[in-house]
């Protein structure tokens, strides 16, 4: 075939564009591979000879295989995968009697406690349908929570004492994707959700360098806030939030990578955009309005209000899912109090994506939030060395729940108040003012 000069140039240019595009765009498989690699090397940071326990839904099995391969490549001694299946779990909640949920069989708790005692790393991959357990008897879910809190205590204790590397990350599933992109075909929804996950975890190019930079910028925010040692924070916005919360003495703002006692760094959540610290669980006053729906254990709570007095929720209401909110708040005394304060600018990459993930791992990184329930002992100086009672006596909350809920809006302002009553505007119009 002969081409005219013009045609030839056109073809050549087309070829050039094709090659350039190929060079720029990673394939889906390459992105998944890079994602799996960073979960293993930055997320849990599995060490040579260490065991890795992965927990995930059967929907995430194909991705779990890629992560497993990455972990062995990184030198893991053994990768243990605990699968669960949403749909089968739902059948159990529907058909099995309540007393099935009041205890956890030993073989199941040993699956976590045994490996925690051996110093394994733990990766949890979430992919669940946000409404997988919608309408299930809250009594059964609550009973399971109580039993699990008891059964997995040795594992949680090691986690609280900074003795193990752990990470929570996500994989797209058809059930989840359909809720996030209800107008799309299943195939297109799953693809879009994967892309949103990849963007949120900064996939592409030199991803290690991007995470290092990101981690450092979070550390800078923490350093500023740690220096200030505010006594209280005051929140206000047009939605109706008007709220003041006390911080414990010697609180530590944390963000980005964490470190185990033995000096291994890890990212507990991927993505993560928050800096967070410990509220005083007896000092919260006023009204908090939710700014995003909260998906909790397979049910969604929408448009809810919490009114606090002396640190405790004394009044609550939800337009949807109030039963679930009630289940959280009535679990124990600590579940009515705060255990985490987290700051996330409204212009964070996840909130700019405009996607409502209905999955706390993502939505909590799109907005300022609090958590009801258990505090993180390492957000207070020497907190991890104190036992539950001693920590509680100085304001560190203890509860069987730890439930993040979002309050950040585009017009949120947060003012820091120090011991002498001086005020510093920290957040203005939903973003950092300092």
Report how far Cα 157 is from the mean position of its chain's Cα atoms: 19
Which of 58-66, 187-195, 379-387, 396-404 is the region at the interface with Zn ion (rule: CB under 5 A)?
A: 396-404
Contact between 346 and 430 (Cβ < 8 Å): yes
Q: How far is the CB of 401 from Zn ion (least distance, A)?
A: 10
DSSP 181: S
Q: How far is the CB of 384 from Zn ion (least distance, A)?
A: 16
* Of residues 133 and 362, the one with the C-beta less far from Zn ion: 362
* Of residues 71 and 345, the one with the C-beta less far from Zn ion: 345
Which of 53-61, 224-232, 279-287, 371-379 is the region at the interface with Zn ion (rule: CB under 5 A)?
A: 371-379
Q: How far is the CB of 372 from Zn ion (least distance, A)?
A: 9
Per DSSP, what are the bridge partners of residue 242? Answer: 236, 287
* Of residues 237 and 254, the one with the C-beta less far from Zn ion: 254
- CA gap 244, 235 in Å, rounded: 6
Binding to Zn ion in span 16-55, by CB under 5 A:
none
Task: Give the Å distances, CA to CA, from 245 to 39, 193, 399.
Answer: 34, 35, 18
- CA gap 272, 227 in Å, rounded: 22
* Of residues 189 and 255, the one with the C-beta less far from Zn ion: 255
Nearest to 281 by CA among 231, 332, 246, 331: 246
Q: Which residue has the tokens 């609090």?
A: 370
* Of residues 129 and 340, the one with the C-beta less far from Zn ion: 340
* Of residues 234 and 369, the one with the C-beta less far from Zn ion: 369
Q: How far is the CB of 425 from Zn ion (least distance, A)?
A: 22
Q: How far is the CB of 256 from Zn ion (least distance, A)?
A: 13
* Of residues 37 and 404, the one with the C-beta less far from Zn ion: 404
Instruction: Examine residue 342 and tell whether it contacts Zn ion (CB under 5 A).
Output: yes
Q: How far is the CB of 25 from Zn ion (least distance, A)?
A: 33
Which of 74-82, 146-154, 187-195, 400-408 is the region at the interface with Zn ion (rule: CB under 5 A)?
A: 400-408
- CA gap 70, 326 in Å, rounded: 41
Q: How far is the CB of 151 from Zn ion (least distance, A)?
A: 21
Ordered DSSP codes for 49-92: T-EEEEEEEGGGHHHHHHHHHHHHHTT-SEEEEEEE-HHHHHHH
Among 38, 126, 264, 371, binds Zn ion (CB under 5 A): 371
Question: Binders of Zn ion: how many residues, by CB under 5 A?
Answer: 6
DSSP 278: P
Instruction: Examine residue 340 and tell whether it contacts Zn ion (CB under 5 A).
Output: yes
Q: How far is the CB of 272 from Zn ion (least distance, A)?
A: 8
Q: How far is the CB of 269 from Zn ion (least distance, A)?
A: 8
- CA gap 367, 351 in Å, rounded: 7
* Of residues 128 and 364, the one with the C-beta less far from Zn ion: 364
- CA gap 414, 186 in Å, rounded: 40
Which of 28-36, 66-74, 100-108, 365-373 is the region at the interface with Zn ion (rule: CB under 5 A)?
A: 365-373
Task: Give the Å distances, CA to CA, from 364 to 122, 270, 272, 276, 403.
Answer: 21, 12, 9, 11, 10
* Of residues 130 and 339, the one with the C-beta less far from Zn ion: 339
Binding to Zn ion in span 267-326, by CB under 5 A:
274
* Of residues 189 and 430, the one with the C-beta less far from Zn ion: 430
Among 404, 414, 426, 430, binds Zn ion (CB under 5 A): 404
State whether residue 145 is helix, strand or coil.
helix
State whether residue 357 is helix, strand or coil.
coil
Which of 63-71, 178-186, 286-294, 369-377 is the region at the interface with Zn ion (rule: CB under 5 A)?
A: 369-377
Task: Give the Å distances, CA to CA, from 141 to 56, 59, 261, 290, 358.
Answer: 19, 22, 34, 23, 19
Instruction: Examine residue 363 and tell whether it contacts Zn ion (CB under 5 A).
Output: no
- CA gap 306, 318 in Å, rounded: 9
Q: How far is the CB of 346 from Zn ion (least distance, A)?
A: 15
* Contact footprint for Zn ion (CB under 5 A): 274, 340, 342, 364, 371, 404
């Amino acid at each position: 075939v002969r081409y005219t000069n013009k045609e030839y140039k056109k073809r050549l240019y087309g070829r050039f564009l094709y090659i350039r595009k190929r060079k720029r765009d990673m394939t889906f498989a390459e992105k998944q591979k890079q994602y799996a690699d960073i979960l293993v090397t930055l997320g849990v940071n599995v060490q040579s000879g260490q065991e890795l326990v992965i927990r995930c839904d059967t929907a995430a099995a194909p991705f779990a295989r890629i992560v497993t391969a990455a972990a062995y490549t990184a030198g893991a001694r053994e990768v243990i995968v605990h699968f669960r299946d949403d749909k089968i779990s739902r059948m159990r909640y529907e058909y099995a009697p309540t007393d099935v949920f009041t205890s956890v069989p030993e073989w199941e708790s040993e699956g976590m406690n045994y490996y925690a005692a051996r110093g394994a790393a733990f990766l949890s991959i979430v992919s669940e349908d946000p409404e997988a357990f919608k309408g299930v008897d809250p009594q059964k879910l609550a009973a399971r929570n109580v039993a699990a809190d008891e059964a997995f205590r040795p594992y949680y204790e090691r986690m609280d004492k900074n003795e193990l590397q752990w990470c929570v990350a996500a994989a797209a599933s058809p059930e989840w994707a359909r809720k996030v992109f209800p107008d799309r075909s299943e195939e297109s929804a799953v693809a879009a959700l994967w892309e949103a996950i990849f963007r949120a975890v900064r996939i592409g190019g030199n991803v290690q360098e991007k995470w290092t930079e990101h981690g450092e910028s979070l550390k800078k925010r923490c350093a500023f806030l740690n220096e200030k040692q505010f006594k209280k924070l005051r929140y206000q916005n047009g939605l109706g939030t008007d709220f003041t919360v006390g911080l414990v003495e010697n609180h530590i703002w944390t963000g980005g990578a964490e470190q185990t006692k033995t000096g291994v760094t890890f990212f507990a959540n991927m993505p993560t955009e928050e800096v967070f610290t410990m509220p005083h669980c007896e000092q919260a006053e006023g009204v908090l309005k939710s700014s995003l729906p909260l998906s909790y254990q397979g049910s969604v709570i929408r448009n809810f209000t919490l009114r606090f007095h002396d640190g405790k929720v004394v009044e609550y209401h939800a337009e949807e899912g109030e039963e679930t909110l009630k289940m959280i708040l009535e679990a124990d005394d600590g579940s009515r109090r705060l255990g985490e304060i987290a700051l996330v600018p409204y212009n964070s990459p996840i909130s700019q994506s405009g996607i409502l993930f209905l999955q706390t791992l993502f939505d909590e990184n799109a907005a300022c939030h609090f958590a009801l329930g258990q505090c993180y002992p390492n957000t207070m100086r020497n907190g991890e060395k104190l036992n539950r009672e001693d920590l509680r006596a100085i304001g560190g909350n203890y509860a069987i729940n730890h439930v993040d809920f979002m309050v950040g809006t585009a017009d949120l302002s947060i003012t820091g108040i120090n011991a002498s009553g001086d005020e510093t505007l920290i957040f203005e119009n939903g973003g950092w003012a300092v």
